[in-house]
Every structure is written in C-alpha cells, then in structure tokens.
Amino acid sequence: MSKEPVIETDRLILRPITLNDAKDCFGWASDERVNQFMPNPIMTDIRQTIQWIQSTLTDETEWHWAFVLKETNQVIGSGSIGPHAQMKGYWNIGYNLHYDYWHKGYCTEAMKAIMDFAHKKLGIKKFCADHAVDNPRSGKVLEKCGLKFDHYGEYSKFDGSQIFQAKYYKMELE
C-alpha cells in the first residue's frame, strides 16, 4: 500500500504512481525538451521508466505522485517531496511535466497541493527547491508556490555529463 494519499485539485488528481503509468511517464522522460535541465539522464527505453517507477514505489524517504488530468484521465506529469539531503529540516520539492502541458499552470496547481498536504498532514514547515538558471519558467513555478530566491549554486546530471548554474529557493511557514 502506497503512503501517498490521493489529492484532488481543480483540474488534477494527484495519486501514487503505478507501473501502469510507464507509457505516459516515458512520454516526457524521453523528451529532450522536458529532460534538458533534469538531473536524470534522458530515458531511451521504456524499461528505464519502469525501473524509475519501481524505485519510487520502494522509496521510503520521498513521497511521489502522478499528475492525472481529470478531463482525460491521462498522467501528464509527476511531483515529489522529501527531506533535503544537505539542508536539515527542509523538504525539497520537484516536478516534471509532459511538454504538451507546459505553460498552463498544472505544475503550480499540483505542487501547491502537495506542499499544502505536507504542511497540514506531515507538519512540514520548511520547503526548498532549485532550478537551472537557464530554465526561468521553473523558477516562476517555485515563486507561485511561495518560495523565495535564496542563493545561487550549481547541480549536475546524476551521470556527471552536465553541470548547471542554479537558483535555490526556500520557504518557511509558521
């Protein structure tokens, strides 16, 4: 049984990711436009997507949701939240969205709901996130979720193939 509850927003249902979502998830995980600034290398085979989904199912530190569009029941993205590895007490948020659904407010809608859940149900009061400087639209999502710019830094792809200059954001609630 997954720990992630189902969360409903105006246009989305956020629910645990399942192996049945592999085809939809591969749709964005294999898209260079979506993956350009992500730490994960681009997925070239659906089996990689299945492995990623399996890793979310056994991850006991992060919470992962599929973003399901209510009107079509299609998985259009995913989001997660979990304790930040280096910033004690902060929880890091992350998201990914199919290119066809960019610039429509879906990430902001989903991540606000996830943060609201984390605050009200888990008692989380400190949130953080980062994005590549060359990906300012992601920064707009973070700002719309209430996070504020904190500092510059960098991150790299997990395979070390690329380093990105990054903007880091924080938010602390009462």
Query: In whole numbers, what is the pLDDT of the chain averaged over residues?
Result: 94
Give the model confidence (pLDDT) of 57-114 as tens digits.
988 889 999 999 999 999 999 999 999 988 899 999 999 999 999 999 999 999 999 9
Total tally of structural domains belonging to the chain = 1
**20 in helix, strand or coil?**
helix
137 belongs to a structural domain: yes
Question: pLDDT per residue over 19-62, tens digit each?
Answer: 999 999 999 999 999 999 999 889 999 999 999 999 999 888 89
Q: Report if residue 1 sits inside a domain.
A: no
Residue 2 resides in a domain: no
Cα separation values, 51 from 19, 22, 27, 74, 95, Å? 9, 9, 15, 20, 18
Convert 98-127 to b/e letters by CB count within 10 Å (16 or more is b).
beebeeeebbbbbbbbbbebbbeeeebebb
CATH number of the domain enclosing 13:
3.40.630.30
CB contact at 8 A, 113 and 7:
yes
What pLDDT does 1 receive? Answer: 42
Q: 97: domain range?
A: 7-172
Q: Round to whole Å and give the CA distance between 17 and 37.
A: 22
Side chain identity, residue 112:
K
In a domain, 100, yes or no: yes
20 assigned to some structural domain: yes
